[in-house]
Structure formats: C-alpha cells, structure tokens
C-alpha cells in the first residue's frame, strides 16, 4: 500500500512539474492599467496583423459569374490562408512576379513587334481587336505583366464556343509569342484597379508604431510575448508581400476581352501552335496561382528561404518563459519542424514534381507535410493561449521619456 502511495506522489510531481510555468508569471488576466493590459496586448497585435494582411492581398481577377458575397468570401479565405501559411502565399506571389516580368519582356521583344507588323501589312483581319493597335503605344512594364498573369485578359474563340474564358499565365505567354496579346495602357489597367492608398498608408503607420514598441521593449529589457513575436513574423511576410505585389493591380474585377471568333487568321495561328485546345491549361473559368508542380528551382528555393526565416523568428523564443514545460518543448519542436521540413522539400521537390521519387519518399513527404501544417497551427494557437500566464514585466510599458535625451 505504501509503495502505491509513493508511486502516486512521484507521478503527481512529474505531471505538475511538466505543466508548471518556466518562470514567474503574471495573473491570467490583467485589466487595463495606466499602461497596457491583456486586452491592449491582444488588440494591438490583431489590429496590426489583420489589416496588414488584408491590404497586402492583391487577388486575381474573379470569374464574372461570381457574386459580390462570394468574392468577399474568397478574399476572406485567402486572408486566412495568408495568416496560417504566409510562406506559400509569398512564394506564389514571387512566382507571379517572375511570370509578369517574362510576359512584359516578350511583349516588348522585337519578334512580337514583327508579328504585329506582319498582321498590319497582310491586313487579313483589319477589324480584329488583337491588331487594332499594331504598335505598342507604351512599353509594357511589370504592371502590364501582372495584369496578364492575374486573369486580366479573357479569350473568346471558336474553341471556347463563344464563351470568354480567362487567360492563364501560360496562355498570356503564348499570345505574346504569337503577337496576339492586345495593347493595354497603364491608365486602362489602373481604372480597373481599386487600390486603397489611404488604407495602406494607415496600415504602414500602425506597423511602424508596432515595431517601434517591440524594439523599445527589447532595448529596455522588457519581455516580448509570444503573441508579439508571432505577429512580427506574419507582418514581415505581409510587408514582403507588399513589395512583391507593389505593381500588381488590386481588386481588379473587369477583364479585357480578346474576341477572335470572326478572325480566321488568329484561329489558325492558335491552332497551328497547339495552344488553347479544349483541355488546354492556357485558359480557365478563373485564374488561380500557378500550381507548385510547375515551379522552377528558384521558386522552390525561395519557399525554403521564406520558411527558414519564418521558423527562425519563432526559434528566437527558444529560452522564453512559457506557461508550462510541455508548451515550451512543443514550441521548440514546431520551430525546428518548420525549418527541417523546408529543407526536406527543397532537396526533394524536383523528384516529387517529376514523379521520380520512390514510394517511401512520397509517404515520408506526406507525413512531414502534415507535421508542418500541425506545427504552423500550433505556433499561432500557442501565441494566444500563452497570454494566460505571461512573464512578470510583460505588462510593463516603455517609459518613452527615458528613450530621448532630456534634462532633469
């Protein structure tokens, strides 16, 4: 009997020590004092993160059949995706940037100019909208390229049975190579964009103030919470997304229609090139991100680098104070998992894409992907639930009067 009691005491001690805080903690909830309280901490992070992610999104042109509420739901889903998996959205955005540069370069090339000039001299189809302007009035920029890869053009031909279908990035590239991509001015593109410069300016000010507070807390030796660290990681991703999509039209909903149903020459050119067949990936009802299966090595390595930075930022809290030892170990394991998985897929992505990987590699990759998703979700959830037992000093505020030279 005494041995059973002793065993229960040992198990109780082990369990309590595993769930004990890793340092002295403040109460579970702190009301707003003269400085900041629990609500202030949460709202500060949420009002920095969510508007930053929301305004950073530059979605592709939606299908004309989509209603307003479905477009809003589509944007909300993408915002949630960008919050949970910012690395994939960043890599996909970089892929779009590379496609936009490529298409703009093709459209500005001498070969495309010769093709347009040939259409002018032959005058096979003077009323065709693709040759209504045989010379580009203005040089194509990345902005034009983005408009092309985001579904800004829709093709209406005999192959589509008279229905205008969105042109994908591969389709826009083929149209540029054939000299059939119509000229579009920057003014026309911007008229279709709904960029909110004021909203972006306000968000940038909020982000700047948030970073100033975090830096000041570090300088004065005040603890930075897991929620603030997680917010920093996501805000850095959102700011990078701002830079990549700087010239991409935002919330464009009107397409430029390329109608070649009455143009025999254009139809023959497309048919001869093998583009825009019935099952071709060159057009779709709605253009999405280019699938990861078609990414090149640079795009794959960019995903590795972004995941490494994201996991590295969370690894900075390696020696932070956690509500329990279990949560501390899970946080460390999650950060390491993200870093390890990004290297794994970086080295095996090509074989996975080409289908040359063996069955064991496929199974292990599927398991690691599931582990990666679990680690991502845990870091976000833990950032919020850790508020119940923050370290002493987490609610102390920076004395800004001591941050600047003063007398007295």
Q: Is 299 exposed, middle or buried (0-12, 13-18, 19+ CB in 10 A)?
A: middle
**103 HSE (CA, 13 A, CB side):** 30
Residue 272 vs residues 115, 178, 267: alpha-carbon distances, Å = 15, 11, 8
Nearest to 125 by CA among 177, 179, 169: 179
pLDDT of residue 139: 84
- Residue 405: φ, ψ to 5°: -60, 135
pLDDT of residue 352: 59
Handedness of CA 328, 339, 382, 220 (dihedral sign): positive
pLDDT of residue 374: 93
pLDDT of residue 226: 92
Whether pTM exceeds 0.95: no
Distance between CA atoms of residues 100 and 144, nearest Å = 8
**pLDDT 10s per residue in the chain (408 long)?**
444 333 433 333 343 344 455 655 555 666 666 567 788 888 888 888 888 888 888 888 888 777 888 888 888 888 888 888 888 888 889 889 999 999 998 888 766 666 655 554 444 444 455 544 444 567 889 999 999 999 888 888 777 777 788 888 888 888 888 777 887 888 888 888 776 667 777 888 888 888 888 888 888 888 889 999 999 999 888 888 888 888 898 888 888 888 877 777 777 777 777 666 666 777 777 787 776 666 777 777 787 888 888 999 999 999 888 888 999 999 999 999 998 888 787 777 666 566 666 777 778 878 888 998 899 999 999 999 999 888 778 888 877 645 544 343
pLDDT of residue 314: 93
pLDDT of residue 29: 61
3-state class (DSSP) for residue 274: coil
Residue 81 vs residues 53, 149, 287, 400: alpha-carbon distances, Å = 10, 21, 17, 37
Tokens 């909300």 sit at which residue? 76
3-state class (DSSP) for residue 200: helix
């Amino acid at each position: 009997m005494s041995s059973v009691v002793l065993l229960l005491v040992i198990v109780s001690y082990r369990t309590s020590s595993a769930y004990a805080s890793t340092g002295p903690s403040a109460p579970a909830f702190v009301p707003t004092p003269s400085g900041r309280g629990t609500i202030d901490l949460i709202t500060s992070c949420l009002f920095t993160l969510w508007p930053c992610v929301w305004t950073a999104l530059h979605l592709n042109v939606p299908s004309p059949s989509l209603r307003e509420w479905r477009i809003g739901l589509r944007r909300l889903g993408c915002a949630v995706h960008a919050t949970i998996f910012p690395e994939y959205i960043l890599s996909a955005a970089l892929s779009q940037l590379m496609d936009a540069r490529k298409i703009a370069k093709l459209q500005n090339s001498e070969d495309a100019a010769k093709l347009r000039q040939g259409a002018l001299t032959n005058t096979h189809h003077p009323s065709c909208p693709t040759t209504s302007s045989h010379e580009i009035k203005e040089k194509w920029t990345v902005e034009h390229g983005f408009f092309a890869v985001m579904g800004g053009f829709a093709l209406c031909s005999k192959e589509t049975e008279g229905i205008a279908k969105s042109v994908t990035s591969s389709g826009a590239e083929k149209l540029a190579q054939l000299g059939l991509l119509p000229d579009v001015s920057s003014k026309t593109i911007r008229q279709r964009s709904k960029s909110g410069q004021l909203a972006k300016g306000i968000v940038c000010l909020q982000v700047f103030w948030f970073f100033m507070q975090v830096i000041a807390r570090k300088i004065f030796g005040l603890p930075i919470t897991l929620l603030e660290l997680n917010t920093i990681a996501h805000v850095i991703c959102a700011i990078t997304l701002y830079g990549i999509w700087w010239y991409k039209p935002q919330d464009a909903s009107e397409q430029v229609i390329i109608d070649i149903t009455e143009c025999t020459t254009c139809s023959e050119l497309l048919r001869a090139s093998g583009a825009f067949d019935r099952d071709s990936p060159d057009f779709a009802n709605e253009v999405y991100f280019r699938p990861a299966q078609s990414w090149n090595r640079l795009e794959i390595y960019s995903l590795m680098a972004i995941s490494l930075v994201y996991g590295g930022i969370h690894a900075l809290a390696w020696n932070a104070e956690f509500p329990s030892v279990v949560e501390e170990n899970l946080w460390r394991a999650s950060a390491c998992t993200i870093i390890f998985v990004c290297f794994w897929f970086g080295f095996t992505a090509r074989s996975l894409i080409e289908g040359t990987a063996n069955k064991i590699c496929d199974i292990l990759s599927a398991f690691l992907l599931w582990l990666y998703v679990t680690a991502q979700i845990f870091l976000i959830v833990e950032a919020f639930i850790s508020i119940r037992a923050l370290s002493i000093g987490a609610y102390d505020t920076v004395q800004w009067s001591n941050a600047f030279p003063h007398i007295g």
